[in-house]
Amino acid sequence: MNLVNEYLKIRKYSEEICEPLQTEDYVVQPIVDVSPPKWHLGHTTWFFETFILKPYSAGYQEFNEDYNYVFNSYYETVGARVIRTDRGNLSRPSVNEVYQYRAYVDEAMTRLLACAVDEKLMELLLLGFNHEQQHQELLLTDIKYILGNNPLFPAYSRNWKDKTDGVSAVDAINISEGVYEVGYQGDGFCFDNELSRHKVYLQDFSISTSLVTNEEYLDFIIAGGYQNFIYWHAEGWDWVKNNQIKAPLYWNEINDTWFNYTLHGLRHIDFKAPVTHVSYYEAYAYASWKGMRLPTEFEWEIAARQFSWGKRWEWTESAYLPYPGFNKAPGAIGEYNGKFMVNQKVLRGASVATPEGHERLTYRNFFHPHLRWQFTGIRLAK
Amino acid sequence: MNLVNEYLKIRKYSEEICEPLQTEDYVVQPIVDVSPPKWHLGHTTWFFETFILKPYSAGYQEFNEDYNYVFNSYYETVGARVIRTDRGNLSRPSVNEVYQYRAYVDEAMTRLLACAVDEKLMELLLLGFNHEQQHQELLLTDIKYILGNNPLFPAYSRNWKDKTDGVSAVDAINISEGVYEVGYQGDGFCFDNELSRHKVYLQDFSISTSLVTNEEYLDFIIAGGYQNFIYWHAEGWDWVKNNQIKAPLYWNEINDTWFNYTLHGLRHIDFKAPVTHVSYYEAYAYASWKGMRLPTEFEWEIAARQFSWGKRWEWTESAYLPYPGFNKAPGAIGEYNGKFMVNQKVLRGASVATPEGHERLTYRNFFHPHLRWQFTGIRLAK
Amino acid sequence: MNLVNEYLKIRKYSEEICEPLQTEDYVVQPIVDVSPPKWHLGHTTWFFETFILKPYSAGYQEFNEDYNYVFNSYYETVGARVIRTDRGNLSRPSVNEVYQYRAYVDEAMTRLLACAVDEKLMELLLLGFNHEQQHQELLLTDIKYILGNNPLFPAYSRNWKDKTDGVSAVDAINISEGVYEVGYQGDGFCFDNELSRHKVYLQDFSISTSLVTNEEYLDFIIAGGYQNFIYWHAEGWDWVKNNQIKAPLYWNEINDTWFNYTLHGLRHIDFKAPVTHVSYYEAYAYASWKGMRLPTEFEWEIAARQFSWGKRWEWTESAYLPYPGFNKAPGAIGEYNGKFMVNQKVLRGASVATPEGHERLTYRNFFHPHLRWQFTGIRLAK
Amino acid sequence: MNLVNEYLKIRKYSEEICEPLQTEDYVVQPIVDVSPPKWHLGHTTWFFETFILKPYSAGYQEFNEDYNYVFNSYYETVGARVIRTDRGNLSRPSVNEVYQYRAYVDEAMTRLLACAVDEKLMELLLLGFNHEQQHQELLLTDIKYILGNNPLFPAYSRNWKDKTDGVSAVDAINISEGVYEVGYQGDGFCFDNELSRHKVYLQDFSISTSLVTNEEYLDFIIAGGYQNFIYWHAEGWDWVKNNQIKAPLYWNEINDTWFNYTLHGLRHIDFKAPVTHVSYYEAYAYASWKGMRLPTEFEWEIAARQFSWGKRWEWTESAYLPYPGFNKAPGAIGEYNGKFMVNQKVLRGASVATPEGHERLTYRNFFHPHLRWQFTGIRLAK
């Protein structure tokens, strides 16, 4: 791996994602979970500056010290920061300044990577790459939210290629009871929450090889799924009623016809495509209505070798918890994953928004159960 | 088992718990999690009336049909209900009327139980017994909250016997890696969430035979545990800051001395007693500060045969999730446990407030991670 | 005036108002604006103890020093206090203890009043009398709210005499443009906000001699008054929509028939009676729908000599502002009225809940525009 | 008056105000009271399109029908609209599109104004001019808020000329008791809330000829004005505590020195300049601390002929209420002023942000008492 090339390739892809945007699209934050695209561009840059350039590049001159305050996401170790809800209040630094910041840091990184890279630096570098890729995924989902909740429904890009063109026929795999091994093993990169590889005991289970489609999900809607508490968790039912939820995010019923906001703009719903932008509550309720359930993350990891995945992030029944022997790294890097291990659900797989090469069988994504601005989907088990 | 005697004994104990109360103490609801004592007395009665007397006792005449609205807790199947936050707004039915309601239902139950009891009825009856015992536990914790948050700090009863007089010397048990069985097995009563018995794989672990004491917890406070984000989950840290948490619930610092509100009134802290009334966030942070962790519920269940427990409900690291093959019962009874299986943590053991005979090795209690009005405690593992 | 007799008569009336209550009714606080009856009984007692007995009665021994914290309403000068929203969380002091407190203070007051009463003391005494009468009015309205929002709709008292049995035929008085004098003048008691008497300039106006009836108000409802923003202030319209307001407080539509919760329990609406329990927003919208307006407080004061009033507190168009030369008294007594002179509307007149002799032509009551748990009514002008 | 020239001059000035902005500055909405600059530019354009072009210009083709939804501020008559809190969530229409919208409407207006303009159209036109001027004032205050709350404190424009360079020596005017006339009279434009001219009775009063300076206000801060409830309304005191208010908006204490964010950037406080960006609560508390009070709006209107004003909008003690005989116009235009006449305070005068020629002796501005993002100031009376 040529480190400079790899670095520049990843960095460039973040900017490519933003190419179809107008300046104004970089700035807004319609809900707290969505960050302004320019913030993502700045934050990933700040990550390299703070954790690599400042400690490892002798004589490195910070681009602008105020950016620490602006672009720190949640690292308490590193100091004060703009509170998350306020990211959309900042018109400055401007989009141009953020791109200048990127160029400045990229140049310094290029110089640094031309020199010898020791193991510790290599580790941080890989973390920085993967961190930027995580934000690339978020960039796409956040851009979709920004545009898809605009009353003008502007398209993101007519060239956008959704990797998912329908779902294969429904089938199921049976896995037998027994002891299995889960967790990452190997020499490549993984996040600390995938370590260490360990044994788990699984019961007999069966899991679908296909994702639930829009058509199947529409049956749930038509059958009154959103009106019957019996399928829902108590908290899910409160969420449905308080937010008057009636369909997945981005579904719009206009004159009795269902439309879906996609990155191409408002479109008739593609009924053969996998349902997406559902919360865990909805995934659970749908499974419940079908007399089935969601897989656990370990069932998923064991079975996934046998089916095709990677189109939607898939909700599992598992809570996001530490693996045996999990240990937070010292310092700010230790804040990466561990401190979020409560009240969240694990998602497995990857999605159309995941940058190529970033997906992994042992990858553990996690979100609060009510969130649905990600490209989430449903796979059934029993 | 003489069913009538057993029924009356359990029912009477609820009223005994309330004996030291003044009429006014039965009525208030200082926080949403606490219910007015008279509501507990009415709700447990409504449970027998709704699920046993109405379907099984021919010609049974409802005491007051409005009570369905007043005393339904969360059963959507059974109809509309007073919202939980409003229970403390109801001065009527009066305490006297609630006791009349109890007497009326007890008489009808006594008549019914004198006749043949079939298996289905027996099952509901046992559920009713255990349901009332769960509310006995809540009665004590809610009464403690009502009195302990009153500026006059009235004592509940000078005769109250706390079963816990200190904690034995700290020791640890080591358990070896392997496949173990967890979950309820046997002919006795258990809740649906304890079924079915199944295998799990545990890693090597070590677990303390003692609970953390007030003295040990004070060390955490003195060491600045509440001021250092590093020990906390991100959500726990927000909870600490937003609520200005500085010590367990009921600890009051008066002129530089720590006092504890107990059921005997305000007392100097007993430093040898187990710490109690801490949230999961605090339990986790304490463990983190000690370089240890909380046990999972399965570790606890396997290890607990070897130590004494039952003084405090013990927070575990496990999220409250369904066991393999878990199925909700049809109808309102199916709402008992399953619909709460998200965003909660499992507690294991029992506490000083648990009625005798209600505790069980496989018992799974569950609360949201920020709650601490229960008699919760901390046991460490690693 | 025999001061002791007068004192005891006023004090006794507060307790008479509470006679029909059950102990539980004394305790609850269903909304922040309503205080528990036992709090009113305690607070009025604390007023005499704090402002008269402690400074004027040598050697007076406080009943219970914690009561300062419990029964202070809003006097910052006097120290910390239970926050208003928490009054309904306090089961103690018990109702019995509050009555003992009253007896204790009454005895001390009786002793004090048997001695010479100087001018300063006399002034405070009259303030105490009027303060207690204000709380008598609140006692009735708060009790009505507590019982009228209970799902069992218990009656307060079958003997309650509503002074208002219908409304006389609608007529109007014309008043000519010119300079008039308003504000209190004389030797009797008045609140500081009624001083000093001063000149105002009024335009020609006409004012109804009758209050709007339930029947007239029902016409507004039927005509869609609550669905048409055109009649409402922007804030009033938000209030209607956010709270789904469709009729006056205490109106209940059951099977297409309108019922009204009264102190006798749930009753068919008396269509000849004046409409009551409406907010300022509703009074304004009704007037707007009629092509009329509410009188200003000065128009009311000048015209009221010519019509009968005292059945309902009447909303005026006037904001609650200081009269020319208004000055707050020094110390805690100065917090009585002045600090509320923003964002409130003046009500004039008196109501069925006003104790005899407490009403006055120049009396200025005041509430926030959305409140309607008082016996408020509507008089039209143009 | 050449109408086309006048129209274009006013329209151009809105764009001139925005000239120093970067695209990003047009988009954000840091608090609900502040609107994004591009929204102001679009909304004022929509006003001419909706109320003039569509009804009066035969064959006029709407620029984009979705803009009705985007740019309607609060006109219920005209249909649904983006809720106010969401204006900052809209990246589209882009700034360029908004300028195209302006050009399109300006061209249509130019054509229309070249033809005969009847009286009704003239009236609407003047309303449109004045409406745009009101938004010019808001543009400046909103821009100041957007930049002044950015952690980078960017300057708006180094050329900005603040008309106020200090305050003349403090002096006072005495006005004698009697009947005076207030309200607009004449042939020029005025808002409906200034009509009709009518008599009021004023008491003797004295009013300062100067505004309170930063230096004088600092004395209040140093004297503990923000720590002593005695000077504040109860609601004001809650506001101070809940928001931890310690100084006027834009004052920043950095290393024990007071700085002020101005349109030139962060500057040392100019102690001779009038204090600005204070709420009504602060203005009242300051006056209270000085043993004085704020003038009423009528006192101000009578006295202002004798002093220089127009640097700061001046809080008065008057609530915003209808003048005698006030009538809302029919249709959407009737929503302009009347529906806000509750819970607001009148401000008199004009400010550095007021476009030339827009100020008027009888002008009634109004804001809620806690707001301070306007260029508000304090004048004392007694």
Sorted by where each begins, the domain ranges of chain A are: 3-148, 172-377
Are residues C317 and D322, on separate chains, in Cβ contact within 8 Å?
A: yes
Q: Read off the tokens for A371.
A: 């969130």
Nearest to D24 among A27, A86, A147 (CB): A27
Task: List CB contacts of D368: < 8 A, sequence separation 6 or more.
Answer: D343, D344, D345
Nearest to A201 among B201, B230, B280 (CB): B201
C12, pLDDT greater than 60: yes
User: pLDDT by residue (tens digit) across D229-238?
Assistant: 999 999 999 9
Distances D189 to D55, D129, D132 between C-alpha atoms, Å: 22, 10, 14
User: pLDDT by residue (tens digit) across D176-221?
Assistant: 999 999 999 999 999 999 998 999 999 999 999 999 999 999 999 9
CB A148 within 8 A of CB A28: no
Q: Which of A41, A71, A152 to mutate to test the interface with D (most CBs of D within 10 A)?
A: A152
Are residues B26 and C22, on separate chains, in Cβ contact within 8 Å?
A: no
Of D106, D79, D95, which Cα lies nearest the Cα of D40? D95
Does any CB of chain A come closer than 8 Å to the CB of residue D248?
Answer: no
CA nearest B319 in A: which residue?
A319
Q: Number of residue pairs across A and B with CB atoms under 8 Å?
A: 76
Q: Read off the tokens for C259.
A: 């019922």
Angstroms from B205 CA to nearest CA on chain C: 45
**Window from A273-287, C72-86, C253-267 with minimum mean pLDDT:** C72-86
Contacts with D66 from chain A: Cβ below 8 Å: 151-152
Does any CB of chain C come closer than 8 Å to the CB of residue D343?
Answer: yes
Angle at B85 between CA B80 and CA B88, to 5 degrees: 100
DSSP character at residue C236: H
Q: What pLDDT does residue D46 have?
A: 97
Contacts with B94 from chain C: Cβ below 8 Å: 22-24
Does any CB of chain D come closer than 8 Å to the CB of residue A89?
Answer: yes
**Alpha-carbon distance D362 to D326, whole Å?**
15
CA nearest B153 in C: which residue?
C92
Contacts with A237 from chain B: Cβ below 8 Å: 76, 339
Region C239-249: mean pLDDT is: 97
**Alpha-carbon distance A237 to A231, whole Å?**
9
CA nearest C86 in B: which residue?
B30
User: pLDDT by residue (tens digit) across A120-132?
Assistant: 999 999 999 999 9
Contacts with C82 from chain B: Cβ below 8 Å: 151
Does any CB of chain C come closer than 8 Å to the CB of residue B92?
Answer: yes
Give the model's confidence band at A377: pLDDT under 50 very low, under 70 low, under 90 confident, else very high. very high
Q: Read off the tokens for A190.
A: 């993984």
Angstroms from D360 CA to nearest CA on chain C: 24
Coarse DSSP helix, strand, coil percentages of chain A, rounded to the nearest 5 percent: 40, 15, 45
Q: Read off the tokens for A264.
A: 């191409």
Angstroms from B239 CA to nearest CA on chain A: 13
Are residues C343 and D199, on separate chains, in Cβ contact within 8 Å?
A: no
Angstroms from D370 CA to nearest CA on chain A: 21
Q: What pLDDT does residue D362 have?
A: 98
- Give this complex's ipTM: 0.94
**Alpha-carbon distance C297 to C348, whole Å?**
7
Contacts with C333 from chain D: Cβ below 8 Å: none
The second-level CATH assignment, the architecture, of B172-377 is Alpha-Beta Complex (3.90)
Does any CB of chain D come closer than 8 Å to the CB of residue A147?
Answer: yes
Angstroms from B78 CA to nearest CA on chain A: 12
Share of chain D above pLDDT 70, in %: 98
Does any CB of chain B come closer than 8 Å to the CB of residue C69?
Answer: yes
Of D329, D316, D323, which Cα lies nearest the Cα of D181? D323
Are residues D91 and A29, on separate chains, in Cβ contact within 8 Å?
A: no
Task: List CB contacts of B333: < 8 A, sequence separation 6 or more.
Answer: B51, B124, B127
**Alpha-carbon distance C250 to C144, whole Å?**
9
Q: Which of C24, C33, C70, C101 to mutate to test the interface with B (most CBs of B within 10 A)?
A: C24
Are residues D201 and C203, on separate chains, in Cβ contact within 8 Å?
A: no
Give the model's confidence band at C167: pLDDT under 50 very low, under 70 low, under 90 confident, else very high. low
Q: What pLDDT does residue B167 have?
A: 64
Q: What pLDDT does residue C308 have?
A: 94
Tens place of pLDDT per residue across chain B (382 aa): 699 999 999 999 999 999 999 999 999 999 999 999 999 999 999 999 999 999 999 999 999 999 999 999 888 888 888 888 899 999 999 999 999 999 999 999 999 999 989 999 999 999 999 999 999 999 999 999 999 999 999 999 877 776 555 666 679 999 999 999 999 999 999 999 999 899 999 999 999 999 999 999 999 999 999 999 999 999 999 999 999 999 999 999 999 999 999 999 999 999 999 999 999 999 999 999 999 999 999 999 999 999 999 999 999 999 999 999 998 877 888 887 889 999 999 999 999 999 999 999 999 999 999 999 999 999 999 9
**Window from B153-167, C41-55, C274-288, D229-243 with minimum mean pLDDT:** B153-167
Nearest to A91 among D27, D89, D92 (CB): D27
D333, pLDDT greater than 90: no
User: pLDDT by residue (tens digit) across A55-88?
Assistant: 999 999 999 999 999 999 888 888 888 888 899 9
Region D121-149: mean pLDDT is: 96
Are residues A28 and D92, on separate chains, in Cβ contact within 8 Å?
A: no
Give the model's confidence band at D168: pLDDT under 50 very low, under 70 low, under 90 confident, else very high. low
Does any CB of chain C come closer than 8 Å to the CB of residue D246?
Answer: no
Backbone dihedral angles phi then psi of residue C251, each to the nearest 5 degrees: -80, 130
Q: What pLDDT does residue B341 have?
A: 94
CA nearest D66 in A: which residue?
A152
Q: What pLDDT does residue B161 have?
A: 75
Largest CA distance in chain A: 66
**Alpha-carbon distance B24 to B30, whole Å?**
13
Does any CB of chain B come closer than 8 Å to the CB of residue C23?
Answer: yes
Task: List CB contacts of C219: < 8 A, sequence separation 6 or more.
Answer: none
Are residues B92 and C22, on separate chains, in Cβ contact within 8 Å?
A: yes
CA nearest B295 in A: which residue?
A324
Q: Read off the tokens for B119.
A: 């298996």
Q: Read off the tokens for C164.
A: 């208002």
Q: Read off the tokens for A26.
A: 């970089």
Q: What pLDDT does residue A62 have?
A: 97
Nearest to B154 among C22, C89, C92 (CB): C92
Does any CB of chain C come closer than 8 Å to the CB of residue D196?
Answer: no
Q: What pLDDT does residue B168 have?
A: 65
Are residues C321 and D317, on separate chains, in Cβ contact within 8 Å?
A: yes
**Alpha-carbon distance C373 to C149, whole Å?**
11
State the average pLDDT for chain D. 94
